Structure 1
Amino acid sequence: MNENNVALVTGSATGVGRACALRLAEEGFDIVVNYSRSQAEAEETKALVEAEGASVLLIQCDVSDDAAVKKMVTEIESEWGRLDVLINNAGTTEFIEHKDLDALSEEIWDRIIGVNLKGPFFCIRAAAHLLRESEFGAVVNVSSTAGITGQGSSVAYCASKGGLNTMTKSLARALAPEIRVNSVCPGPIDSRWLKQVMTDDELSERTADFPIPRPAQPDDIADTVLYLALGTTLSTGQLLVVDGGRTM
């Protein structure tokens, strides 16, 4: 049994996932760094987390694959014998104009729903027995304001995050009182995702009329994830919006 608390951060090779892994390492957690394809970046995250003094388990796993998720959790249990915090951060999307219904193929639907909605469920289900044994078992799902407003990169993405938001509430009830389940819902994040489709100037322009007129940085979201995971013992089933007041 590992004496340190242990956190699994899915999709922690880059961006918000990496920021969360580093912040949890600073809090004394040992970290499971999970990635699907970005091995080089995941190795970078591993090195950064180890520089904080944490032990790291690096596991490649596509969270949309239920068998692979179960294998990942078995590996964590074999290695460290515990899991205290699960951050469901892995996600995917396609940038498709909402009016272009024909561009949203069944293959794209299945991939987005598989990673963004089924994936968090598979991870929670596989990890629940370990989280229940923790003194403060907590799940934080990294969702999106797209799941609240219906505005986002694609219709399928918005639907997947809307589903994640309602699943957060369902599982908060089902897993209480031993495990708390919450979601953070960011607005636009200054990250690799958005840089695929817009420049820095375009991102600044998009957020210029927000009450706090800037996009989120990964650390802004990590702040909220850490709060929901460690900073509260009574909050569960909550969707905490972090978007500079955009959806207010």
Structure 2
Amino acid sequence: MDTVRQGGLGTYDLAGKVAVVAGGSGAIGGATARRLAAAGATVVVGCRKEDDRIRKLVADLPGHGHWAAPLPVDDTEAIDHAASLVGQRHGAVHVLVNAAGTTRRIDHDDLDALDDDLFDEILRVNVRGVYSTIRAFRPLLVSGGDSVVVNVSSLSSETGKGSSIAYCASKAALDTMGKSLARVLAPEVRVIGVSPAAVDTGFVPGRSREAVLAQATRSPLRTVVDADDVAVSIMGVITQLRLTTGSVVLVDGGWHL
């Protein structure tokens, strides 16, 4: 008979844990790295390339032992190398946050503007990149024994509205893939998605701050979501939702209602 673990898990204590943030150079990734470090985790900031901005982010994180690792999620060989480096240094990973992503603002009725190359690029980064990252870090997450993967998704996965049709499709695929992986990686690893609505960052080229504010005005909570709001929600998923896996948590001010 399979072993059944005892409940009463309580809050997930991040002190002494190792957390990897893919897409740590972005607004949500950077905010999440700061929150994880403040909670006591040793943070590996995954980035496309280490530059002065990344070095400053790492240096400013509270605590000690943090470092940056090249982790371009569209390069499987580089992802595998990053996982190897983390394994050599730490031996296990307890938290993996997949915050890397890409998009471009294209009107949904302009099918010609969303050409094959751009469609493939968005899927390669937003879906395959997350899969490749989880696959590479799986042995380290299993070694952690009680680990969690958080995929940063989007409300666009449910509404089909967003910066482009390809972006919406990629986030819907990410959510479904998360369900599959949650089943595969249990019981050692939880897999949970966090889906914000429009976030007040410069993530979407061509989207103005006024457009973000307008969307917030039309949501029930009438609140502009910023990167740290998403980071706080990610922390809640990690530390509080101990018996949740394969689910997606909305962080949208009630926009879906």
TM-score normalised according to structure 1 size: 0.93
AA matched with 1:19: A
Corresponding letter in the other structure for 1:222: A
- Which one has the bigger helix percentage? 1
Runs ≥4 residues deviating over 6 A: none
Is the CA contact (8 Å cut-off) linking 1:14 and 1:45 kept in structure 2?
Answer: no
State the Cα deviation string for residues 182-228 of structure 1 (Å, max 9, x = none).
0000001001224x424433321222111011221111111111121
| Alignment of structure 1 residues 78-157 onto 2, 5 Å | 78-157=88-167
Deviation at 1:135, TM superposition (A): 3.6
**Residues 79-118 of structure 1: CA deviation (Å, up to 9, x unaligned):** 1212110000000001111100011111111111111000
Count of aligned positions: 243
CA distance in 2, matches of 1:129, 1:80: 12
1:45 is aligned to 2:57: yes
Q: Measure the CA separation in 1 of the matches of 2:89 and 2:114.
A: 41
For 1:40 and 1:156, the matched residues in 2 are separated by 32
Give secondary structure in 1 for the equivalent of 2:203.
helix
Match of 1:192 in 2: 202
Single out whichever of 23-32 and 35-44 deviates more from structure 2. 35-44
The yes-or-no answer on 1:236 pairing with 2:242 is no
Q: How does 1:17-56 map to 2 (within 5 A)?
A: 17-37=29-49, 39-49=51-61, 52-56=62-66
Aligned 1:168-187 pairs, distance under 5 A: 168-187=178-197
Which position in structure 2 is the counterpart of 1:165?
175
Whether the aligned pair in 2 keeps the contact of 1:4 and 1:28 (CA below 8 Å) is yes
In the alignment, which residue of structure 2 is the partner of 1:225? 234
Q: Measure the CA separation in 1 of the matches of 2:113 and 2:49.
A: 25
Q: Corresponding residue for 1:8?
A: 20
- C-alpha distance in structure 1 between counterparts of 2:197 and 2:50, whole Å: 24
Match of 1:247 in 2: 256
1:37 Cα deviation from its structure 2 partner: 5.0
Q: 1:113 to 1:38 in 2, by over 3 A?
A: farther
CA distance in 1, matches of 2:52, 2:106: 28
RMSD after superposition: 1.5
- Distance in 1, matches of 2:137 and 2:250, equals 25
SS of residue matched to 1:4: coil
Q: Offset of 1:38 from its aligned partner? A: 7.1
Distance of 2:214 and 2:159 partners within structure 1? 20
* Equivalent-residue separation in structure 2 for 1:188 and 1:158 (angstroms): 13
Q: Is the 8 A contact 2:196 2:230 kept in 1?
A: yes
- Quote how far apart the aligned CAs of 1:154 are: 0.4
Report the AA paired with residue 81 of structure 1: G
Separation in 2, partners of 1:184, 1:38: 26
Aligned to 2:3: none
Distance 1:102 1:87 in 2: 34
Q: Which runs of 5+ in 2 are unaligned?
A: 1-14
Match for residue 6 of structure 2? Answer: none
Q: Give me the TM-score of the superposition, normalised by structure 2.
A: 0.90
Whichever residue aligns with residue 240 of structure 1, its letter is V
Secondary structure class of the residue paired with 2:68? strand
Residues 1:189 and 1:87: Cα distance change in structure 2 (over 3 Å): same
Mapped contact 1:33–1:57 kept (Cα < 8 A) = yes
Residue number among 203, 213, 222 corresponding to 2:212 in the alignment: 203
Structure 1: runs of 5 or more not aligned? none
